Structure 1
């Protein structure tokens, strides 16, 4: 080989080596061994972790990572890529979301907090979604990247707990009945979520036999502006009940609208079981309350339930302050439950003392019972007692005189307007009143009109 040829060959080899050297120097560095580990990944913040639901917007994702070495790094940029449905970045992209780092430089063992803001599609299914966290960083001025897997859970929106559906209020239940107007229906609801909710409103859709006082088929209740986790609030609705309704259970739909902790509007429908219990209504009927002075008689009456619900654990008592003696062993009587359209009889022995004047006296009746909700109720009635004298009175004529009360005055044939005085005595052990007397005259006498009978009365009570 000539010198020229050798020189040319050496030059070619040198140029080739130079090109290879330049090519190696300008190529990206090979990826370093994984430098980061994920310590924690939560929705919200590490001090206040929470959950997300389909449709939540602007939710915060926090990822805590640690530099596991072997080198310190800088210029840290976290990216979720590819993002993909149901997650979108703040600007609406499904491709990637760029986060922020609490630190731009990490020494070995140091920790950084990454934060992302994401939107979740309303069509998302609850479940766990695996995504890639790509961390870009520099070591000694050379850029590297590490890819880690994280799990992003989407939770099922919580189902509200209906703790109680009751007529009246939770502290003062009051049964409703067919035909009632303006009855209050209370529904107690508990927030089962691990976070507060806001602007909770309930709309109750009405079907027969219920309607609103204005005739509408739905009523609305502003339940709570804020309802803490586990807290309870009560929705209250005013309803009319059709008079043709039957006692029993009816089913109504309650629609709840609210804002979750990300202020996302959510809706939930609940089916309520509404029991229409009816009311008991007690009256007194078939009263027998006539007493004879000095004798033991019976006072009796019926207690009738003319309402639409039973009266439970019923008892009745009778009392009087008039001196009438009531058998104390029977003055209070206990009965079983009293169904609608049925009655029970109350009977008690009573005595009007002989020294009591005949006439009308009042007794008080109190009936105590429980309604469907266990409320203890009472109702009072006044009962009129008739006290009468015995059929045969014992009255004796003590003295009769003409002309004078004290002494008999002589009378002569032909005398006119001669006074006749009759003194009587009450032999009864009680006072009598309204005494009237009539006397048939012998042939030698006549009354002022020529008749044969005279009549008189004693206006005052006679003891």
Structure 2
């Protein structure tokens, strides 16, 4: 009986104890696995210290991201990063919308035989990317997920992944503009042709052309063709040294550029000739005169003049002449004799008069002037056999004068009228 009572009391005690409320605290063991990072530099190229530029359409371009371990006391290793490229102008070299890279210590830690990244030190991640052809130059912000392991005692534990922002710069494509002038030496009043091109060829672009001369400045614009070329004409209004600057400001895809070229405008060089006549008489020696006039604005020298006439015309003596110098506004005269036979009467002939000379700048010139020569006949009337009846004449009487008119020329004289010169006696 007593044994049963003890057993019941024990069970009751256990039951009562179980009904007494109490609190328990579960101790959680947390490994401090979080490490803070900061993106310090981003550069295209394999060397963060020697960055290059990347442009729309480039492929397999290395992008190096330098990251600092900001922890003052935690060493990490096994850094792996994924650069998220969704909805961007980039892909990896396989066309994927993300790219992966492994962290490497910077130069200061390369001598470390492990891939450990010490506290406050730097490491780099290099991604290889393709840039879309139609990418708009500018700054792109992409998310990079960094995974790593943190040193804990003698082991490394997985760290908390970090999301970092990487700013990627896509540069405008560099363009080159060229400009040329033809000819590069012109005379005052002559036009030049300005031409050039932009490479690569932009769309819907215009080039600004600035002409700068002695106390002169003119601006104009030229449309750029589909192949990148442009051209226009320009007539400078004063002599001297000029330059033309060609520039364009660029667009969203291309950087602008400019180029310059010089040209020279000189005073006009001009000679003209004056002939005594364009008619020569057949059957006779004709005195002929050609006057050379310097009607330009530059003295000329070493003038070699030559006359060319076709058969059957003949120039007596020489048909070439030398003039040493001819100043502005001055002239010189050349005299010669030209003969045309009777058989050439009523014919027209074309000759030429050429002058080779140098201007005051040492430039050589050749001017050729056409000569149109008309051979005409001559009318030579001779009066002979004069008779007066009665002879002697008396005051108040009528007098008859008779004479014979002879044409000793080479062509007929038509509609000949003879008259007596008025005289107070008659």
Higher relative contact order (CA 8 A, sep 6+): 2
TM-score by length of structure 1 reads 0.46
Q: Which protein shows a greater Rg?
A: 2
TM-score by length of structure 2 reads 0.49
